[in-house]
Structure 1
Amino acid sequence: MDQTTLQDALAAEEIKAANELTRRWLTSRAEIPAVASGLGIWPLLAVLATGAVEATREELLEAAGIDIGQAAYVPAALIDAARSAPALRFALAAWAGPRIALDPEWVAGMPVDAIGSLTGDPAVDKPALDAWASRNTDGLIEQMPINLEEPIELLIASALSVRTTWRTPFEERYGPFASGPWEGRGKVLTAAYKEEVVRVGPDAAVLTVQGDDDIDVLLALGREETPAQEVMSTLIDAAADPRWGRPASDLTAGAPSIGVTFREYQGPDPQTTPETTATVPAFALDSDLNLLDDAAALGLELASDDELAQFDRLAAQRLYVSQARQTATAVFSATGFEAAAVTAFGMAYTGFPAQTHPHRTAVVTFDRSFAYLARHRPSGLILIAGWVTEPGD
C-alpha cells in the first residue's frame, strides 16, 4: 500500500503556515538560535488548540496559521506522511498524570498510541521520557527538555530528526580558513558542482546542498551589516521560491555578488555546464530554548497564563502551559547533515499550587556568520533552521 507523502498530506497553505511560524519565531528573537525547529512546535500548537476554547484557542490557531478543522488532523497527517520520507522521523505523544481526566474527544483526536501516563515520581518518569526522546531521534537527543521537579500534570511533546548524505560529498581541507573574518579558524569543507547551486539576490547569496532522500540544506550569506533576522527571512523566501534571485552563472567577473568571486582556468574540454566551487565550514551545534521567552510569537501568551488559560476541551481540570522547551542539535559534515529537535509543553493546574514533594537527582565561501535551514525538497517544508556564529573545529 502506498504511503501518503508530505506534499499530499499537507496542503500548500498548511506547509506555508508551518514555514511562516518558523520565520516569525526566529526573526522575533534578539538572537537567532544556533539550531531550532519551528516544525517541532507547529503541531503542538494544533494539539493545544483542539483542547482550548475562546480566546486561548484563537491565539493558538492564529500563531499556527490554521483553523480548528485543520488543527484536528494536522498532527496525525504529519506523523503518517513522515513515514514516506526515509530521511525524516517525526513523533508526537502526550503523558497524563494520575489526577488528570482527559476529554475523550481530545484523546480520540490524537494520533494512535500517542497517550501515555505519568506517575508523578521523577525517578520513574524521567527515564521513560528520556528513552522516548532518544528512540524517536535515533539517539541524537537523549533527554526530554522538561523539568520534572516542577509540577507537571500533562506533558505534550514532539520529536523530529533528519539525516541525509550529500549527493556530492565535500572534501575536508587540511587547515582552517586562509582568509576572511574566520582566518585561521574552522574545519574547511569544499565541493565542486557541475550544476547551478548558487543563487544571488541584492542582499544575500544562497547555496543549495542537495542530500539524498529528498532533503536539501540551504545556506545564506548576507551582507556583513545585515541583521541575522533579515538574512534568515531572505533564506526562507529563497527556499520557498525557485525563481528567487538569479543564478551565479549570470554574474560577470566584473560584478561579483556577496560571497561570490570568479576564477578562470584552462581545461582540456569546452565548458558545457555551470561550474561552482563551494567552501563552507563544518559545524556541530546545540541549543536548549525556553519557548515561553517567545510566547508572543508562538501564540502562548494566554495558554501560559495561569489565570487566563482556557483548556476546557482538553481535561476536566483547569490547566495552563507551565513549561515550554526545545532541545535541538545539528551537524554539517563532509558526508552529510543530521539534526534533531525535541519540543515539550508541560501543563500544570491553574488557580492553586499542586502538591509537591522534595526529590534529589543527579567558493561561495561561508567564512563568517550565516543562516541555514533544512527542508523536505518535494513539499518545501522547513525542518530545521539556525544561525552559525562560529566555525566548527
Structure 2
Amino acid sequence: MPTGEGYLRSLARHYGTGVYPVNFQDEAATKPAMDAWANKNTGGRIKKAPARYDRRDTFSVLNAVYFASAWNVPFDPADTSEMPFTTADGTQVSVPTMSGIQELASARGTGSQAVDLPYAEGFVMRLVLPDSGDAGTGAQDFADAARALDAAAPSPTQLYLPQWDQKSSFDLRRVFAGLGLQEMLETETDFNSIQHGLKITQAGQAANITVAEKGTVAAAVTQINARAVSGAAPRDEIRFDRPFLYEIVHVETGLPLFMGKVSDPR
C-alpha cells in the first residue's frame, strides 16, 4: 500500500525517519525485522515488538523511548540494606533500600509528600508518597507535586528509596477504549493521510525500568498496527474448492494443448 506524501514529509522533518517497505505476508522475514528494531532501539532491554503480528496488516508504527542516566549524587552501596516495605494489601515485606542525605527539593501537600531526585543530565525522578497505602492513579498527585516543588528550595533531606526492577506489557487497544477513544479505534477515514482506508487492528506497549544506586535505565516500545480496509483495491475471489475443468492453451493460436477435469485433487 502506498504511504501518503504528507505523512512521509512529517516523518522526515520531525522524526528523522521514513517508512520501511515490507511484505507482511512474509512473517518469517518481517516479524524478526520488527523485533530487531525494538531490540536495537532499546539497548537490548526489549527484545520483541509488543503488538500481535497479523499477516493481513498493511502498516505498523513503532516508537521507542530509551533512558539511561546516573544520579546527580549516587547512593553509596554500603548504605543499602534490607528494610520493611508495606504493600498495597497491607503485607509487609523486606526489600533492598538505598539511603542517603542530599540537598533535594521536597514538599508536603494535602495527603502526600513529594521530592525531586535529580539526574546528572537535566532530568529528575519525581517521587510522590501518598499518606495512605493506596497510591491511586497519581495524576492529580503529580500535578499538585509539580506546583509545590517548583516553589520549593532544596534542603538537606534524608531519603530512603527501594531498588526496583519492573517490566510490563499490555494491550493498548483496551487502554484506548477505556479512555473513550472509540472513534479512533473504529475510523476508516481519519488516517487516510497515512494509507487510504487505514484502520487500527492491534496496539501494544512493553516497558521496563531498573532503579539502583548509580542511576536509572528504562526503555519502552509502543506499537500500533493497522490495515487498509475500505481503501484497499477491491479484489475478486474464486475458490477452487469443488470439481473443476481445466485446459492448457497456446495463447497465440488459442489451441488447447491439454484439457481435463479435476474431481478429486488428491
Alignment length (residue pairs): 226
Residues 166, 182 of structure 1: alpha-carbon distance in 2 compared, 3 angstrom cutoff:
farther
Are positions 1:326 and 2:235 aligned together? Answer: no
Q: What per-residue deviation string (whole Å, max 9, x for no partner) do you get for residues 258-310 of structure 1? A: xxxxxxxxxxxxxxx9321111110011111211112246674222216x553
SS for the counterpart of 1:157 is: strand
Question: In the aligned structure 2, how far is the partner of 1:341 from the partner of 1:228?
Answer: 22
Q: What per-residue deviation string (whole Å, max 9, x for no partner) do you get for residues 111-144 of structure 1? A: 2432111212111012211111122122221211
Are positions 1:313 and 2:217 aligned together? Answer: no
Question: In the aligned structure 1, how far is the partner of 2:113 from the partner of 2:218?
Answer: 23
Are positions 1:116 and 2:29 aligned together? Answer: no
Which residue of structure 2 aligns with residue 177 of structure 1?
83
Match 1:107 to one of 2, 5, 8: 8
Residues 150, 241 of structure 1: alpha-carbon distance in 2 compared, 3 angstrom cutoff:
farther
The structure in which a higher percent of residues are helix is: 1
* AA in 2 matched with 1:218: R
- Structure 2 segments unaligned to the other structure (5+ residues): 236-266
Residues 290, 339 of structure 1: alpha-carbon distance in 2 compared, 3 angstrom cutoff:
same
The alignment's C-alpha RMSD in Å is 2.8
SS for the counterpart of 2:174 is: helix
Match 1:279 to one of 153, 160, 167: 160
Match 2:126 to one of 218, 222, 233: 218
Structural mapping, 1:80-229, within 5 Å: 100-111=1-12, 112-120=16-24, 121-172=26-77, 173=79, 175-178=81-84, 183-193=92-102, 195-224=103-132, 227-229=135-137
* AA in 2 matched with 1:115: V
Residue 109 of structure 1 and its aligned partner are, at CA, apart by 2.1
- Structure 1 segments unaligned to the other structure (5+ residues): 1-99, 248-272, 356-393
Question: In the aligned structure 1, how far is the partner of 2:207 from the partner of 2:166?
Answer: 8
Percent identical among aligned pairs is 20
Q: Is 320-329 or 167-176 further displaced after alignment?
A: 167-176
Residues 274, 104 of structure 1: alpha-carbon distance in 2 compared, 3 angstrom cutoff:
closer
SS for the counterpart of 2:184 is: coil
Question: In the aligned structure 2, how far is the partner of 1:147 from the partner of 1:164?
Answer: 31
The TM-score with structure 1 as length reference comes to 0.52
Question: In the aligned structure 1, how far is the partner of 2:148 from the partner of 2:157?
Answer: 21
Residues 202, 237 of structure 1: alpha-carbon distance in 2 compared, 3 angstrom cutoff:
closer
Residue 240 of structure 1 and its aligned partner are, at CA, apart by 5.6
Question: In the aligned structure 2, how far is the partner of 1:171 from the partner of 1:300?
Answer: 46
Residue 342 of structure 1 and its aligned partner are, at CA, apart by 0.6
Q: Which has the higher contact order (CA 8 A, sep 6+)?
A: 1
* AA in 1 matched with 2:204: R
Structural mapping, 1:28-39, within 5 Å: none
Residue 228 of structure 1 and its aligned partner are, at CA, apart by 1.1
Kept in 1: contact 2:191–2:199 (CA 8 A): yes
The TM-score with structure 2 as length reference comes to 0.74
The structure in which a higher percent of residues are strand is: 2
